[in-house]
Chains A and B, each alone.
Chain A
Amino acid sequence: MNRISLIMAGVLATVMASLFGLVLIPDMQFEQMQPKELTVADGSTVVYPMPLDEYNEAPGKEVYRAMGCIYCHSQQVRPEGFGADIDRGWGQRRSVPRDYILQNPPYLGTMRTGPDLANIGVRQPSDEWHYLHLYDPQITSPGSVMPPFKFLYETTVGEKPDPPRGFSAIKLPDSYATEPTWIVPNQEAMNLVSYLKSLKQLFDVEDVQ
């Protein structure tokens, strides 16, 4: 084994093989998938998955990325009989490749310090809940170890502020703040909440696959 070229060829061949096997060949399979037209219960048709809207949800995904939410939250529901994801109410079905075809990149995640978010838009449709939770998770989820994101808000003590059009003021609960305190989420917080509310993996596996 004293030939450099031989070692080099072997070294490159092995890693190329896994590149094809683990990434490029499965990619060919996913490239063929397109959003699918589905007929829902009331007879109307919908297209799934839908792209994020470019004004709120897509910028919100950027906030999700920039704040590093993925280090504590996954976005994938494991199948029935493998973990308790469905029993915990994290989804009505397992996640499948088609759920992610429009997500470049998908934030699948590998850690669940916090709960899975693949369907947080179904579980928590309330804007106010999200704003309070992001401002300080202790308000909505006492004992949480999620960091507060107060830097995404303007805070006013006393009179209810009059935020610019499109922004809303939310009152902190009395149990949390001794004086009447109002928070106004900034653009980033609003986008992030729009994105979180868009996270829904709907329809049956058979329909989606």
Chain B
Amino acid sequence: MNQSESPGSPQKNFDTMDVGVRAEIDRSCREVVLFWYASSVFWLVLGSVLALIASIKLHTPWFLADAAWLTFGRIRPAHLNTMIYGWASMSGVGTLLWLMARLCKIPLPWREIMIFAGIYWNVMVALGTFQILIGNGTSIEWLEFPWWISIPLGAMFAILIALTIKMLRERREKHLYVSQWYLFGATIWFPFLYIGATILIHSPAAVGVAKGTANWWFAHNVLGLWLTPIGLASAYYFIPKVLGRPIHSYYLSIIGFWTLALFYNWAGTHHLIGGPLPAWLVTVGTVGSMMMFVPVITVAVNHHLTMVGNFSKLRVSPTLRFVVFGAMSYTLVSVQGSLTALRTVNETGHFTHYTIAHAHLGVYSFYTMIAFGSMYYVMPRLVEREWISSRLIKVHFWCCGIGIAMYWVGLSVGGWMQGTWMNNPDIPFMDIVGRMIPYLWSRSIAGTLMTIGHFAFAILVWKMLRREGEWLVEPTLFISRKEAAVAAAAAASQTTTLQQGAN
């Protein structure tokens, strides 16, 4: 297995890192990472409430309709921005800092600065959300914060880039693990995209439809080159870590990284197929989307071959279960995304809830589930306490898992029907509006489930921060170690029997 590698040490087993060093690194991360994590959970809960309000408004339009700040056209972007810049970005930065410290094998430097950066980030996201609610949102999807919020937000990344470079330079492990490339890439990509797109949209640097392509160049890449690399970096770290075996192939992970970097950012214009664009521009977007099969299949194969023979561990480890759920969703969402870029699929799916379902498969089913899994692993090591309740973790997993499945199925089917009906001019538009109501209700029910899951998670995190769990007894797993040992012994004896039978 000389091609394989595992986080932190390429050719050796994981546990070569001294337990003392690891504890020192975790302690150095404690306040900073916990601050970013705790803030992200606050935004997650707030974003969920905004999401539910927006969802209900789509089938019950008079719900909370008496004030301008509560109108659908403001609550919906407020939901998106709190989720992307509050929840997803802040949990991502938390995981990024911890992974970098662990993989570079050095304590986290600049701790006070990163706490200050966290406070600054929270203030800006709060201010931006407030601006959307009072009517100063830009109505440019994914870029709704006014420019005087998004530029300072992007500028904060100067610190993060400098910090990442410093850590990589001072690292004690010469070999760079694949997670480090993804994380390093993400810290550079995000501010480039965010500041670049803000300038293009708010200055005369681009005119007319070019502002539209700038919009989708950004909006597609904020998932592809910011959240996706963090999600993949986490999956690349936690899957082998929990299993105690190296990632299947080093070369596949290199190919996966560079093909993602090359192709993902060309795919954005597939959101404008059929729109008022030169034909070549749409073709480029479609080609970029098709080429995405390369990194996606590469990553899927690599993760799958690492998991093979270990699927039973999904019954035991919350981290593994959330992360693998996310990693599998990555394959699904990417394949769906590539297919959506085909003109025939796009003709029906575009302008409908099908796209909304697809976006949630990416940001939620893939990214968010991996972020949950990462936090289940990292937080106990920072706080030096275990999660207080295995049952609450189960509630969290099943509510979110079933919730997002229901969400995706309901809106994908509904959206596809919506597109089919819209492309048939014999069906009056108002009939379509009426026929969509049951699907929109299914989204509200699914969203309620997910919100319940998020509250369960918030309780767990709250108790964790208050150090209410036990420590140094045994980790909180879905089934206790004793049960797991009994089950493993039973499985082992079964295998022996089978082998004996075969002999």
| Overall SS of chain A's interface | loop
Pick the contact of A22 from B57, B207, B281, B343 — CB < 8 Å? B281
Q: With an 8 A cutoff between CB atoms, is A176 at the interface?
A: no
The 4 closest A-B pairs by CB, nearest first: A68-B73, A87-B425, A66-B135, A27-B210
Q: Which residues of B contact A148 (CB under 8 A)?
A: 61-62, 65
CB atoms of A76 and B176 under 8 A apart: no
Q: Which residues of A contact B62 (CB under 8 A)?
A: 147-148
CB atoms of A112 and B351 under 8 A apart: yes
Per the bound structure, the CA–CA distance linking A147 and B61 in Å amounts to: 5
**Contacts of A168-205 to chain B: CB distance below 8 A:** none
Per the bound structure, the CA–CA distance linking A102 and B301 in Å amounts to: 48
Q: With an 8 A cutoff between CB atoms, is B215 at the interface?
A: yes
Q: With an 8 A cutoff between CB atoms, is B268 at the interface?
A: yes
Q: With an 8 A cutoff between CB atoms, is B196 at the interface?
A: yes
Q: With an 8 A cutoff between CB atoms, is A52 at the interface?
A: no
Per the bound structure, the CA–CA distance linking A102 and B208 in Å amounts to: 6
Q: With an 8 A cutoff between CB atoms, is B126 at the interface?
A: no
Q: With an 8 A cutoff between CB atoms, is A19 at the interface?
A: yes
Q: Which residues of B contact A64 (CB under 8 A)?
A: 139
**Contacts of A1-23 to chain B: CB distance below 8 A:** 1-2, 4, 7-8, 10-12, 14-15, 17-19, 21-23
Residues on B lying within 8 angstroms of A by beta carbon are 57-59, 61-62, 65-68, 71-74, 76-77, 135-141, 165, 168-169, 174-176, 181, 184-185, 188-189, 192-193, 196, 200-201, 204-217, 221, 225, 254, 258, 261-262, 265-266, 268-269, 271-272, 274-278, 281, 284-285, 288, 343, 347, 350-352, 355-356, 422-425, 429-430, 433-434, 436-437, 440
Q: Which residues of B contact A114 (CB under 8 A)?
A: 433
> Which candidate, A37-45, A90-98, A124-132, A157-165, is the interface stretch facing chain B?
A90-98
Per the bound structure, the CA–CA distance linking A64 and B138 in Å amounts to: 10
Q: With an 8 A cutoff between CB atoms, is A67 at the interface?
A: yes
CB atoms of A26 and B188 under 8 A apart: no
> What 15 new A-B contacts, CB under 8 Å, besides A29-B278, A82-B274?
A1-B181, A7-B176, A8-B188, A11-B184, A17-B265, A18-B217, A23-B210, A105-B215, A110-B351, A113-B58, A113-B433, A148-B62, A150-B66, A151-B67, A152-B68
CB atoms of B138 and A65 under 8 A apart: yes
Pick the contact of A2 from B175, B205, B207, B266 — CB < 8 Å? B175
Q: With an 8 A cutoff between CB atoms, is A167 at the interface?
A: no
CB atoms of A112 and B77 under 8 A apart: no
Contact-residue bracket for chain A: 35 or more
Q: Which residues of B contact A31 (CB under 8 A)?
A: 207
Smallest CB separation, B139 vs chain A (Å): 4
Q: Which residues of A contact B207 (CB under 8 A)?
A: 27, 30-31, 101, 104
Per the bound structure, the CA–CA distance linking A122 and B204 in Å amounts to: 30
Q: With an 8 A cutoff between CB atoms, is A69 at the interface?
A: yes
Q: With an 8 A cutoff between CB atoms, is A106 at the interface?
A: yes
CB atoms of A15 and B265 under 8 A apart: yes
**Contacts of A69-92 to chain B: CB distance below 8 A:** 69-72, 74, 76, 78-79, 82-84, 87-88
Proximity bits, A120-141, B CB within 8 Å = 1, else 0: 0000000000000000010001
CB atoms of A97 and B73 under 8 A apart: no
Q: Which residues of A contact B284 (CB under 8 A)?
A: 21-22
Pick the contact of B58 from A107, A142, A143, A145 — CB < 8 Å? A145
Smallest CB separation, B292 vs chain A (Å): 13
CB atoms of B137 and A68 under 8 A apart: yes
CB atoms of A68 and B208 under 8 A apart: no
Per the bound structure, the CA–CA distance linking A71 and B356 in Å amounts to: 11
CB atoms of B430 and A141 under 8 A apart: yes
Smallest CB separation, A66 vs chain B (Å): 4
CB atoms of B258 and A10 under 8 A apart: yes
CB atoms of B139 and A107 under 8 A apart: yes
